[in-house]
């Protein structure tokens, strides 16, 4: 692996591990990261490999969540009572319901979105707009919720109607710059779910979504007839391990942060980043 390849892998894994879970858009950051590296220095970063790399390191991030929450999401755990196992199965069913809208639309719109809003000429502007719009929405929702008594304070207490509503918000994350975690947390907060419960339910929703996205992109990459080079394989390995380790730390940080803070700082950050994206585009 070249030095540039190693540096890119570390940066991609770190950016993914942080931004997949914080409501600031992992895809948007990865698009911007790719624009910072001269393509002649990293010839391995072909469009097909970049698409596969993005979802592979997202999957590595999700594995971190699966390990952190394994006992809680395991309905067969011997540590659980019969009622707790029933509650766990119900939670898994709600996660599945919440996954349906984005999974269905994502499957049919993947090629269209890749050729349009994800195209190199368009993506930076879409990312900037999405960052700014949802940054403003985060600030507005938090101000509206100030002093509010949340009706749902645990992910297990989310009902099927609310789960489907959160799933509908996740559809928005198909647009780069929106943020999967951002759209689901924002939607859950607007529907009366506490910050911590919104964050955790968003983590749980990522598991089936990222597994499905990785399988879809991997199948398309295999069908293209292009095989991974030695360097591409090494880049995937380094970036995935990095994403896993950073994700573990980020998830723990966010759950600790939302106990005593609002999401307003993330809204402000999104707006500032949107401005930086546009400035860099015209500089």
Q: For 201-241, how does the pLDDT look when each residue is reduced to its tens digit (9 = 90+)?
A: 999 998 988 887 777 777 777 777 777 888 889 999 999 99
Two tokens, residue 257:
């942060």
pLDDT-derived band at 31 (thresholds 50, 70, 90) equals low
Q: Angle CA(75)–CA(257)–CA(205) in degrees, nearest 5? A: 35
Radius of gyration of the chain (CA): 19
Q: For 75-92, how does the pLDDT look when each residue is reduced to its tens digit (9 = 90+)?
A: 999 889 999 999 999 999
Entry pTM: 0.86
Q: 279: which DSSP letter?
A: H
Task: HSE, CB side, 13 Å, CA atoms: give it for residue 76.
Answer: 0
Per-residue model confidence (pLDDT) at position 102 = 85
198 or 110: which carries more pLDDT confidence? 198
Q: For 59-68, how does the pLDDT look when each residue is reduced to its tens digit (9 = 90+)?
A: 899 999 999 9
Per-residue model confidence (pLDDT) at position 203 = 94
Two tokens, residue 62:
């999700």
- Per-range mean pLDDT, top range of 29-38, 143-152, 244-253: 244-253
Q: With pLDDT > 70 as the criterion, what percentage of the chain qualifies? A: 96
């Amino acid at each position: 692996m070249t030095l540039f390849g190693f540096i890119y892998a570390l940066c991609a894994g770190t950016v993914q591990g942080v931004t997949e879970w914080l409501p600031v858009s992992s895809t948007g950051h990865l698009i911007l990261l790719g624009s910072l590296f001269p393509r002649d220095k990293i010839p391995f970063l072909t469009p097909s490999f970049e698409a596969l790399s993005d979802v592979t390191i997202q999957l590595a991030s999700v594995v971190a969540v699966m390990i952190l929450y394994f006992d809680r999401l395991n309905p067969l755990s011997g540590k659980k009572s019969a009622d707790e196992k029933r509650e766990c199965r119900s939670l898994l069913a709600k996660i599945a319901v919440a996954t349906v809208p984005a999974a269905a639309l994502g499957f049919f719109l993947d090629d269209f979105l890749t050729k349009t809003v994800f195209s190199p000429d368009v993506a930076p502007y879409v990312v900037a707009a999405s960052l700014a719009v949802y940054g403003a929405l985060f600030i507005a929702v938090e101000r509206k919720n100030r002093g509010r008594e949340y009706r749902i304070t645990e992910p297990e207490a989310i009902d099927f109607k609310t789960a489907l509503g959160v799933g509908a918000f996740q559809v928005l994350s198909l647009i780069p710059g929106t943020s999967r975690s951002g759209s689901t947390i924002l939607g859950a907060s607007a529907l009366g779910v506490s910050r911590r419960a919104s964050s955790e339910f968003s983590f749980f929703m990522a598991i089936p979504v990222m597994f499905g996205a990785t399988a879809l992109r991997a199948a398309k990459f295999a069908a293209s007839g292009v095989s991974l080079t030695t360097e591409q394989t090494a880049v995937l390995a380094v970036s995935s391990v990095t994403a896993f380790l950073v994700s573990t730390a980020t998830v723990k940080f966010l759950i600790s942060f939302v106990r005593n803070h609002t999401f307003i700082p993330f809204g402000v950050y999104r707006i500032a980043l949107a401005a930086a994206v546009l400035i860099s585009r015209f500089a």
